[in-house]
Amino acid sequence: MKYELNKKKDGVVDATVSVEKQEWEAAINSAYEKEKGKFNIPGFRKGHAPRNVIEKTYGAGVFFNSAMDDIYYKAYTLILNEHSDVKPISSPNLDIKKFDENGVEFVLAIPCVPEFSLAQYKGLTFTKQKIEVGEKEVEDAIEHELLRSSRLVETKKPVKNNDFVTLDFDGYIDGKQFDGGKAENYQLQIGSHSFIDTFEDQLVGLNIGDKKDVVVTFPADYHEKSLANKPATFKVEIKNIRERVMPELNEEFVSNSTEFNTVDEYKASVKDRLVKEADERAEVELDNSILDKIIDDTEFTAPEVMVEEEFNRQIEGMKNQMRYQGIKLEDYVQYIGKTMDEFNAEVRTNSARNVKARTVLEKLIREENLDINEADIDQKVEELAKSANKTKEEFKKQVNNDLVNQIANELLMKKILDFLHTNNTIK
């Protein structure tokens, strides 16, 4: 078997394969041995008819397809084993050019990633943004912590903003009830804006037991199109009111709820944490800006077959996620106010971006010989074991292939980013 490769600009590698008479004859005989048990020939036990008799009865090319399958597989395997730079992105197309008693000649058109050049990725200048943490950010963070320690208590005072109200409601449009417009003992936080229009505002000032007709208009972009722009009246009854009681920020709260003894110590610790988190966010934003610059500047259009594969993977993942939550993807798309065509177009755009990003980074890895080895993974496993308060051997028992792949990908991305930081100027 002989072959010649021709790499084309669109990424397709044409392999012209020639199989001489002796090898082709061996492939036909092999196909005969595999297939002969399928034929019933008068005068012969099934599976014992000679090859020439079967060919005379069913045609000279009766074993062609089976023989061709074997030759195709051998040729394709040989090419991939001898040319590591041939990286298929889908199955080859087969085009038989010549077939006679002297052998067979065919072309395998192997779709691969098109050749392209990376944009400049060394000697660039990037700026790491400094995210300031002031008193307001500290106060907001402390307010959030106080909120987590707050309690909801029943009250007989009128409804006010931020109260939690239990209510019954029944909705009408043009005097008729509509689907989804009725509920009993519904829990609603006033001011959460989870209800349409001024529904929540109109409950402020009501008392337990009060009834009121709440008049609202559904928004024009409401996910249920039959209700969009429609005025509606909800008959509402207040069943219960609870208000949030916040703890006071003092040394008693600090000593009981944190590891600190004074308010000042606690505030200082909150600021230190926020500064660290802000720096981590700035680092992530810097990394993203570096990667985006290289990916965006690189001229490369992802082959449609790769985009389609990524698109199908993303859609299937979303369907599984929605199925886990008990809803269909189509229902979710309708809920967010999009058509399936609009949604699919967005996913396809993201898929093309993902393929381009992955392909560009893979080329960068190859050109700079960036790689990780077993020692890198082993060290990371040891760190994870230590953080989990387990021995390395105990932790390894829990390590599966998915975790190993995740660790490898994270280490490789860190190596890429370390390389880019080292070879560019960061201000």
- Tell me the pTM: 0.72
Q: What is the pLDDT of residues 4-22, one digit of tens each?
A: 999 887 788 999 999 999 9
For the cut 90, the answer to whether the pLDDT of residue 402 exceeds it is no
Side-chain half-sphere of 199: how many Cα atoms within 13 Å? 25
| 3-state SS, residue 10 | coil
Q: Which amino acid is at 214?
A: V
Do 310 and 355 contact (CB within 8 A), yes or no?
yes
Which class for 75: exposed (0-12), middle (13-18), buried (19 or more C-beta within 10 A)? buried
Would you state the pLDDT for residue 382? Answer: 84
Which residues 6+ apart lie within 8 Å of 179 measured at CB? Answer: none
pLDDT (0 to 100) of residue 383 = 85
Distances (CA, A) of 180 to 187, 189, 193, 195, 219: 16, 19, 18, 13, 16
Q: What is the pLDDT of residues 135-188, one digit of tens each?
A: 999 999 999 999 999 999 999 999 999 999 999 999 999 999 998 899 999 999
Contact between 152 and 243 under an 8 Å Cβ cutoff? The reply is: yes
* pLDDT at residue 394 greater than cutoff 90: no
What is the model's pLDDT at position 212?
A: 96
**Sign for the pseudo-dihedral over CA of 406, 411, 416, 417:** positive
Checking DSSP bridges between strand 125-126 and strand 93-100, what pairing results, if any?
unpaired
pLDDT at position 378 is 84
Average pLDDT, the chain: 92
Report the alpha-carbon distance of residue 77 to residue 213 in Å, rounded. 75
* CB atoms closer than 10 angstroms to residue 116: 15
Q: Structure tokens of 147?
A: 């909120």
Q: Given a cut of 80, is residue 356 above it in pLDDT?
A: yes
The dihedral built from the CA positions of residue 292, 293, 295 and 300, taken in this order, carries a sign that is: positive
43-47, 71-75, 204-208, 290-294: which range is least confident on average?
43-47
pLDDT value of residue 11: 85
Domains along the sequence of the chain with CATH: 2-111 (3.30.70.1050), 151-245 (3.10.50.40), 369-427 (no CATH)
- pLDDT, tens digit, for every residue of 368-393? 999 888 888 888 888 888 888 888 78
Residue among 62, 78, 59, 84 nearest 19 (CA):
78
What confidence tens digit (pLDDT) does each residue in 265-287 have? 999 999 999 999 999 999 999 99
What does the DSSP 8-state code read for residue 235? E
pLDDT above 80 for 398: no
Mean pLDDT in residue range 48-73:
93
